[in-house]
């Protein structure tokens, strides 16, 4: 069943992009994701907004 | 009730890893892996600032062939999983059973309702920091890179968990597990060491399979959205599955690829 794989592999490229934006620091990545998802809403959408903010500020 | 009993048994059997290592007769491989677990735990705590608590400072022997049986169900022509709701974690697309008979009964019921089902086993789980999760004996069968990856993965759940967002939680934990293992083995054994290279290759495999799977799911979503009879969708999806397995098999011809071989052997549907 495909779902048993996709559960663990969704949007890995998005996480990679955020990881790069955070200087390849896992600590900073986790902190920034924690802050982004604390606002509520769909977490992947919050991460897309976060990466957009990174792109506009750089 | 059964879950509470089994979880209680696991917690009751915990003993500090440092005490366990002093027992006579512990085989060298076990000693080495338990030492690695403590080092991973320390790295997660001090370097990655994860919420480690007392997790993975203790060891618990599990006297069962599999820890839990995880049931997943999905409609036959939709990639949207059936979900269950639990108090602390919210809605999740899987349910764990401590008995294969209970899992089979639940799967049969869902199949009667028209779902495809799959039951898989798992060797680890997180109580999200509610308890100090011990290292379970099942995990010692893994190689060092996989073992470190799993522990970082589970500790990420203790550190950051969004209720009711299983795909997000598991994919983030997967990402952090893979990258933390790379960083850990680089720092412990050196850049380019055999262990570091294995962790890097494992993550590259993960990314390659994720990319491959995205293509498969796009193809299936397109098929399922077509305005054709159900029988045709079911017939055509079998072709998609067969083509996907064939393509993945050809990619695995690369001798460096060693993960996700089970995509070739696992059934992708129930009858």
Calculate the CA B217 to chain-centre distance. 20
The pLDDT tens digits of the residues spanning B170-229 come to 999 999 999 999 999 999 999 999 999 999 999 999 999 999 999 999 999 999 999 999
Q: What pTM value is reported for the model?
A: 0.90
Taking a C-beta distance cutoff of 8 angstroms, is the pair B18, B58 a contact? no
The whole-angstrom separation of Cα A26 and Cα B180 is: 7
Question: Chain B within 8 Å of A38 (Cβ-Cβ)?
Answer: no
More confident residue, B254 or B149: B149
Inter-chain Cβ pairs, chain A and chain B, closer than 8 A: 96
Q: B167 — contact with chain A (CB < 8 Å)?
A: yes
Residue B189 in tokens = 């054994």
Closest CA to A8 of B101, B5, B166: B166
CA nearest B74 in A: which residue?
Answer: A3
Q: Is the pLDDT of residue A57 over 90?
A: no
| pLDDT of A55 | 84
pLDDT score of B270 more than 80: no
Q: What is the pLDDT of residue B63?
A: 79
**Binary contact (A4, B216; C-beta < 8 A):** no
Q: A53-57, B7-11, B61-65, B76-80: lowest mean pLDDT where?
A: B7-11
Cα B198 from chain centre: 19
Instruction: Label residue B5 by pLDDT band (50, 70, 90).
Output: low
At residue B70, the 3 state secondary structure works out as strand
Confidence category of residue B256, pLDDT binned at 50, 70, 90:
low
Four-residue CA torsion sign, A35, A41, A45, A49: negative
Instruction: Give the residues across from B90 on adjacent strands.
Output: B86
Q: Enumerate the residues of chain B whose CB falls inside 8 A of the CB of residue A43.
A: 162, 165, 168
User: Chain B residues with CB inside 8 Å of A7's CB?
Assistant: 72, 81, 93-94, 166-167, 170-171
Q: What string of H, E and C letters represents the secondary structure of chain A?
A: CCHHHHHHHCCHHHHHHHHHHCCCCHHHHHHHHHHHHCCCCCHHHHHHHHHHHHHHHC
As a whole number of angstroms, the distance between CA A16 and CA A55 comes to 14
CB pair distance less than 8 Å for B49 and A15: no
Decide if B187 contacts B212 (C-beta within 8 A): no
B45 touches chain A (CB under 8 A): no
C-alpha–C-alpha distance, residues A47 and A21, integer Å: 12
**A5–B213: do the CB atoms touch at under 8 Å?**
yes
Cβ distance B21 to B35 under 8 Å?
A: yes
Chain B residues within 8 A of A33 when measuring between CB atoms: 160, 172
pLDDT tens by residue, A3-41: 889 999 999 999 999 999 999 999 999 999 999 999 899
| C-beta separation of A29 from A19 below 8 A | yes
Structure confidence at residue B2 (pLDDT): 57
Measured in angstroms, the CA of A1 and the nearest CA of chain B are apart by 4
Residues B14-58: tens digit of each pLDDT: 899 999 999 999 999 999 999 999 999 999 999 999 999 999 999
Query: CB within 8 A of B12, min separation 6: which ones?
Result: none
| CB-count exposure of residue B168 (10 Å: 0-12, 13-18, 19+) | buried
C-alpha separations of B40 from A54, B134, B186, B195, B210 in Å? 31, 14, 12, 14, 26
What angle in degrees, to the nearest 10, is found between the helix axes of B166-189 and A43-57? 60
Q: Which of B4, B188, B186 is nearest to B87 (CA)?
A: B4
Alpha-carbon distance of B252 to B240, in angstroms, equals: 18
Looking at residue A28, its pLDDT comes to 97
Res. B261: pLDDT tops 90: no
Distance (Å, whole) CA B134 – CA B54: 8
Contact residues, chain A, for B269 at CB < 8 Å: 1
| Mean pLDDT for the stretch of residues B3-8 | 67
CA distance, residue A52 to nearest chain B CA (Å):
18
Using CB atoms, pick whichever of B49, B166, B207 lies closest to residue A7.
B166
Beta-sheet pairing, B135-136 with B90-92 = unpaired
Residue that is written with structure tokens 């069968």 in the block:
B141
pLDDT in tens, B74-110: 999 999 999 999 887 889 999 999 889 999 999 999 9
Which whole number is the average pLDDT over B224-253? Answer: 93
Among B81, B175, B213, whose Cβ lies nearest the Cβ of A15? B175
Report pLDDT for B66: 78
Question: A34 — contact with chain B (CB < 8 Å)?
Answer: yes
Model confidence band, residue B71 (pLDDT cutoffs 50, 70, 90): very high
Handedness of CA B13, B14, B15, B21 (dihedral sign): positive
Close Cβ partners of B55 (under 8 Å, ≥ 6 residues apart)? B41, B126, B129, B132, B133, B134, B154, B155, B158
């Amino acid at each position: 069943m495909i779902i048993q794989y996709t559960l663990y592999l969704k949007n890995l490229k998005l996480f990679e992009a955020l990881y790069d934006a955070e200087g390849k620091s896992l600590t900073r990545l986790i902190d920034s994701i924690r802050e982004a998802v604390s606002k509520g809403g769909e977490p992947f959408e919050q991460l897309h907004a976060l990466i957009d903010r990174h792109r506009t500020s750089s | 009730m059964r879950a509470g009993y089994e979880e209680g048994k696991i917690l009751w059997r915990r003993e500090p890893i440092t005490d366990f290592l002093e027992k006579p007769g512990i085989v060298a491989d076990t000693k080495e892996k338990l030492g690695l677990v403590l080092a991973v735990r320390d790295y997660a705590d001090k370097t990655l600032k994860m919420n480690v608590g007392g997790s993975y400072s203790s060891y618990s022997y599990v006297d069962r062939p599999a820890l839990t049986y995880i049931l997943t169900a999905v409609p036959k022509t939709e990639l949207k999983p059936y979900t269950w709701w639990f108090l602390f974690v919210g809605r999740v697309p899987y349910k764990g059973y401590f008995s294969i008979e209970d899992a089979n009964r639940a799967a049969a019921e869902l199949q009667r309702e028209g779902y495809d089902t799959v039951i898989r086993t798992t060797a680890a789980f997180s109580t999200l920091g509610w308890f100090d999760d011990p290292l379970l004996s099942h995990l010692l069968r893994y190689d060092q890179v996989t073992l470190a990856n799993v522990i970082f993965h589970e500790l990420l759940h203790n550190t950051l968990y969004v209720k009711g967002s299983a795909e997000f939680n598991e994919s983030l934990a997967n990402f952090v597990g893979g990258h933390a293992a790379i960083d850990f083995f680089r720092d412990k054994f050196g850049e380019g060491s055999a262990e570091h290279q294995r962790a890097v290759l494992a993550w590259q495999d993960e990314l390659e399979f994720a990319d491959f799977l995205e293509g498969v799911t796009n193809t299936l979503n397109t098929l399922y959205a077509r305005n054709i009879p159900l029988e045709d969708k079911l017939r055509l999806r079998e072709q998609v599955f067969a083509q996907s397995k064939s393509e993945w098999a050809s990619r695995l011809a690369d001798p460096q690829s060693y993960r996700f071989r089970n995509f070739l052997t696992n059934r992708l549907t129930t009858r």
